Structure 1
């Protein structure tokens, strides 16, 4: 590799890691937002240790990405072989972990769906209709995805307000807008005129699965894009590391 190509690779790797640093900061910020925010749809699942763990993982991944990109920048700009080698090794481990996580998630999707069903059914059973942040998030999901319950409308059969009421109540956010007569409420409970609730028959699990099928190309493109970016970083780091003269192996930043 010529000196000009090596210099170009060095600064390209520096800019590459600067972008990764910003990306890691965004991931960490997103994890913090999910953990602290009380308005988004994730509030529906906030009582789940698994969801909180996922938020902590996002924060950890973001922080680790920032640290790793910092090491990559330092190794590239000062041509420190040990840091470039460490950077390459970490990227390789991350890539392997991502592939393993994708395969595991694919083969364990039924377990994930069952866990989500338990969490959301607990939320449905405890739904009091007082317009709390959790209820607003649940109403938002059902209203905008045009679904009712997780598996289906019968998931609401365990709700204590509905069970203990002398009226025929149903969740307003489930109401099929094509059957609405008169005023429409998007939250709390509404009174049904007949035992057959005027709600959507499809559960939110089916709506989410349909959305994923519709947008699978986008999801896979993002996943593959991240993998290719990591692969590019590995190639640049190992090429730069191999072409640094041995006498510069102990090079350290100078004041």
Structure 2
């Protein structure tokens, strides 16, 4: 199960990195937030960004702004998209986000599981109550009860 989760996350992040920037901004903003707060770059490392067509086909040396290592630069690290590097060495974090994300998931798995179980219980109670409501409708002519 652990490897299925890791493979699923790897596939999802690889798609985000290859399509960055794309039409759907929500995954990109989430990934920018992860890189910025966990101080990491890419999934396994900063070289993951070299598969991005914007970085590959650019005549400039571009790097993701959310990867910017604030200890190496004096610029603000809240930008999104790509930034221009003055030198071939990107001023980014070297560590990939895989280790940080997995650590966060294992640290908070109890909370995640509790939320999932809470939602499931609420849905189950809603279904039981709706079945009881339907059963309490006492009509001999069931053609009057709407069928969906």
Mapped pair 1:195 → 2:88: yes
Name the CA distance, whole Å, in 1 between partners of 2:7 and 2:24.
27
Cα shift at 1:133: 3.4
* CA RMSD across the alignment: 3.0
Structure-2 separation of matches of 1:115 and 1:170: 25
Question: Once the 2 structures are TM-superposed, how far is the Cα of residue 215 of structure 1 from its aligned partner?
Answer: 3.3
**Aligned-pair CA distance for 1:207:** 0.9
Runs of 4+ aligned structure 1 residues displaced above 4 Å come to 216-220
User: CA 1:130–1:219 in 2, change beyond 3 Å: closer, same or farther?
Assistant: closer
Q: Does 1:113 align with 2:6?
A: yes
Deviation at 1:175, TM superposition (A): 0.8
Q: Which runs of 5+ in 1 are unaligned?
A: 1-107, 231-251
- Offset at 1:182? 3.3
Question: How many residues are paired up?
Answer: 122
Superposition pairs of residues 1-255 of structure 1, within 5 angstroms: 108-128=1-21, 132-216=25-109, 218=111, 222=114
| Contact 2:66/2:81, CA 8 A, preserved across alignment | yes
Work out which structure has the larger RCO, using CA pairs closer than 8 Å and 6 or more positions apart in sequence.
1
Give the CA deviation at 1:181. 2.1
Q: Secondary structure at the match of 1:120?
A: helix
TM-score for both structures, normalised by structure 1:
0.41
Between the aligned partners of 2:111 and 2:46, the Cα distance in structure 1 is 30
Q: Could you list the per-position Cα deviations for residues 164-187 of structure 1 after superposition, in whole angstroms to 9, with x for gaps in the alignment?
A: 111111000011122222344421
Q: Distance in 2 between matches of 1:169 and 1:157?
A: 10
Unmatched tracts of structure 2, length 5 or more: 122-134, 139-148
Structure whose CA Rg is larger? 1
